[in-house]
Chains A and B, each alone.
Chain A
Amino acid sequence: MLLLYGFDVGETERIKVTFQFTMPNSSGENNAGETAPSVIDTVEAACIDSAVNLVNTFVSKEVNLSHCKVIVFSEEMAKQGISKEIYSLMNKVEVRPDSNIIISTGTAQEYIESVKPSLENLVAKYYEILPRSSEYTGFTSDIQLIDFFNKLESNFEQPIAILRSSCF
């Protein structure tokens, strides 16, 4: 199950995409109390679809994007422009429009690797709850893909995203 997409500027290709998966059955009863393991894979490709296809060639299961809760872009990539990626994501039926958009101050890969939730066993639950903190604190906001896209297309609004440090 794919939890998170991360986008960086590629070294050999246009983009570097980092995928974070949960291990199958990691939320089972036997693992109660233990932090659920996750797997991080990174590929470079020309576009999102190519990256997913590449990952599908070496992971044993087909990548399913319908549980992806967070999409992370590196600051460097955001500065270059992410409208192509946002359009691609919006056109993918599997991707949920309520996925959160995060801009990481370092690379997206560093951000994903540094996420070690201290009060949650499940990383998936952590990503689910994280943006909800905007309900009781003013330091963040619950920015979803659909909001971001609508504002990107709008003539009277500017898109904003959640800013996160890549070093916890």
Chain B
Amino acid sequence: MINKKIGNWEAIALILTVMANHVVLNLPKNIISSCSSGTIVNILYISIVALIVVYFITKLLEKFPSLDILDISSFLGGKWLKNITGILFLGYFFFTVSIVLRSFSEGLKIIFFPRSAVPVIMLLFLITIAITNKIGFHSIVRSNLLIMPLILFTLFFVFFANISNFTVQGMFPLLGEGAYSTFFVGLSNLFAFSGIGYLYFIPPYLKDPKSQKKISFISIGLSGICLLFGVGTLLFLSPNSIITEEIFPLYLASRNIEFGRFFQRLDAVFLLVWIMSLTAYLSILISFATRVFQKMLNLQYTKWYVPLFTLFIFSIGLLPNNMYQIISLENTTFQYIVLILIFGISLILLLLANVKYYLLEKKKGAVLIDKETPL
């Protein structure tokens, strides 16, 4: 059982951190490159679709209170299915951490440390992540809750402080390259809401399992708003041709902010907040990965293999040879992994588990879910 549970706001911040960090990285740029001026309409559209998906997920999770996707897989197909699901999610967590870490480190190197080696920057992050994971999940989530208002403030501040530099015509034509591109091809941008994946894992952590629905809707709604502001900043500020070529386009947007002669060059402050936020996000990902590993192998302690995980992530992160490969992994591979795993396999598992639940209920009159399963 999980001894220390998390509150509603901590859970909301936990899911929101996924979107906030990806907005700071290259997510808005990727969406703009696929939808051009139709991005605003596309974001509104995929936000509505994401909320509908969240509604279904919460409905499907209702029958399995305080159980995560691994427990539900175990209920559906036994240990084998649980292990397969665990391996898939482990792969997803490792891939995400490695690529996000490498991408951010490359960006930091370009901006601030041109003479430092990328592995050194990555190692500094990984050491911090290993230490935070040793301290525990609860401390990470609480730290994340403290950092979240700051990062949200920076995202909104970059938008509002740049209003004088905006060219709102950047959002026209509203449908970009056409309705087909915005609504059909653009549906793949649903991967932006990869935070939905954490809805499958947080039920055992919640102090109040009944508030899961509320947490899910608030966090995904806020994620949509974050994305809209991030995309709006870039779309109104610069032509598409430059946005799609830049590394850290939101950082570049922050460099335009100035208030008279005294408040200029605030970008360093933003970057500091983003570094803290990214560390919290990566720590959360590793924490979930260790949890999945622990449940798969029924291990009692997690602390000894956290350093091994960080070394493994370090190795994976160094695999891409250049920035082009990293961007390609971030754009294409990450997109497919999220769409297949989070919006495909996991939803099917939930659906089938519900079908099994109803069939058993019909047969026996009641279903006993193994409450002894260690969460």
Interface bin, chain A: 10 to 19
Q: Contact at A146–B261, with CB atoms within 8 Å?
A: no
How far, in whole Å, are A81 and B110 apart by their CA atoms in the complex?
A: 29
Main secondary structure of the interface of A (DSSP, over half): helix
How far, in whole Å, are A64 and B365 apart by their CA atoms in the complex?
A: 75
Q: Contact at B252–A97, with CB atoms within 8 Å?
A: yes
Which residues from 250 to 277 on chain B have a C-beta closer than 8 Å to any C-beta of chain A?
A: 252, 255-256, 258, 261, 264-265
A93: which of B110, B167, B239, B265 is its contact (CB, 8 Å)? B110
* Residues of B participating in the A interface, judged by any CB pair closer than 8 Å: 110-111, 165, 167, 169, 237-239, 241-242, 245-246, 252, 255-256, 258, 261, 264-265
Q: Contact at B258–A98, with CB atoms within 8 Å?
A: yes
Q: Contact at B255–A153, with CB atoms within 8 Å?
A: no
Q: Contact at A156–B239, with CB atoms within 8 Å?
A: no
Q: Contact at B238–A156, with CB atoms within 8 Å?
A: no
The interface bits of chain A over 124-141 (1 if a CB of B lies within 8 angstroms of the residue's CB, else 0) are 000011001000000000
Which residues from 71 to 120 on chain A have a C-beta closer than 8 Å to any C-beta of chain B?
A: 90-91, 93, 96-98
B241: which of A97, A132, A146, A153 is its contact (CB, 8 Å)? A153
Q: Contact at B252–A153, with CB atoms within 8 Å?
A: no
Point out the residues of chain A lying under 8 angstroms from B167, CB to CB. Answer: 150, 154
Point out the residues of chain A lying under 8 angstroms from B258, CB to CB. Answer: 98
Residue ID in chain B nearest A125 by CB atoms: B261
Residue ID in chain A nearest B258 by CB atoms: A98
Q: Contact at A150–B111, with CB atoms within 8 Å?
A: no
A98: which of B169, B238, B246, B256 is its contact (CB, 8 Å)? B256
Point out the residues of chain A lying under 8 angstroms from B241, CB to CB. Answer: 153
Point out the residues of chain A lying under 8 angstroms from B256, CB to CB. Answer: 97-98, 146
Q: Contact at A154–B255, with CB atoms within 8 Å?
A: no
Least CB distance, A149 to chain B, in whole angstroms = 7
* Residues of A participating in the B interface, judged by any CB pair closer than 8 Å: 90-91, 93, 96-98, 128-129, 132, 146-147, 149-150, 153-154, 156
Answer whether A146 and B110 are a contact pair too, CB < 8 Å, given A91-B245, A128-B261, A153-B239. Answer: no
Point out the residues of chain B lying under 8 angstroms from A98, CB to CB. Answer: 255-256, 258, 264
How far, in whole Å, are A150 and B237 apart by their CA atoms in the complex?
A: 8
Point out the residues of chain B lying under 8 angstroms from A129, CB to CB. Answer: 261
Point out the residues of chain A lying under 8 angstroms from B239, CB to CB. Answer: 149-150, 153-154
Known pairs A97-B252, A128-B261, A149-B242; list 20 more (Cβ under 8 Å): A90-B242, A91-B245, A91-B246, A93-B110, A93-B111, A96-B255, A97-B255, A97-B256, A132-B261, A146-B165, A146-B256, A147-B165, A149-B238, A149-B239, A150-B167, A150-B238, A153-B239, A153-B241, A153-B242, A156-B169
How far, in whole Å, are A132 and B242 apart by their CA atoms in the complex?
A: 27
Of B241, B256, B261, which is in contact with the most chain A CB atoms at under 10 Å from its CB?
A: B256
How far, in whole Å, are A167 and B94 apart by their CA atoms in the complex?
A: 63
Point out the residues of chain B lying under 8 angstroms from A156, CB to CB. Answer: 169
Least CB distance, A8 to chain B, in whole angstroms = 26
The 10 lowest CB-CB distance pairs between A and B, nearest first, are: A153-B239, A97-B256, A93-B111, A97-B255, A146-B256, A93-B110, A98-B258, A153-B241, A150-B239, A150-B167
Point out the residues of chain A lying under 8 angstroms from B169, CB to CB. Answer: 156
How far, in whole Å, are A4 and B165 apart by their CA atoms in the complex?
A: 23
Least CB distance, A29 to chain B, in whole angstroms = 22
How far, in whole Å, are A145 and B237 apart by their CA atoms in the complex?
A: 13
How far, in whole Å, are A97 and B238 apart by their CA atoms in the complex?
A: 11
Point out the residues of chain B lying under 8 angstroms from A97, CB to CB. Answer: 252, 255-256
Of A91, A146, A147, which is in contact with the most chain B CB atoms at under 10 Å from its CB?
A: A146
Point out the residues of chain A lying under 8 angstroms from B252, CB to CB. Answer: 93, 97
Residue ID in chain A nearest B238 by CB atoms: A150
How far, in whole Å, are A154 and B265 apart by their CA atoms in the complex?
A: 26
How far, in whole Å, are A91 and B167 apart by their CA atoms in the complex?
A: 20
Least CB distance, B16 to chain A, in whole angstroms = 28
27 contacts between A and B (CB under 8 A): A91-B245, A93-B252, A96-B255, A96-B265, A97-B252, A97-B255, A97-B256, A98-B255, A98-B258, A98-B264, A128-B261, A129-B261, A146-B165, A146-B237, A147-B165, A149-B238, A149-B239, A149-B242, A150-B167, A150-B237, A150-B238, A150-B239, A153-B241, A153-B242, A154-B167, A154-B239, A156-B169
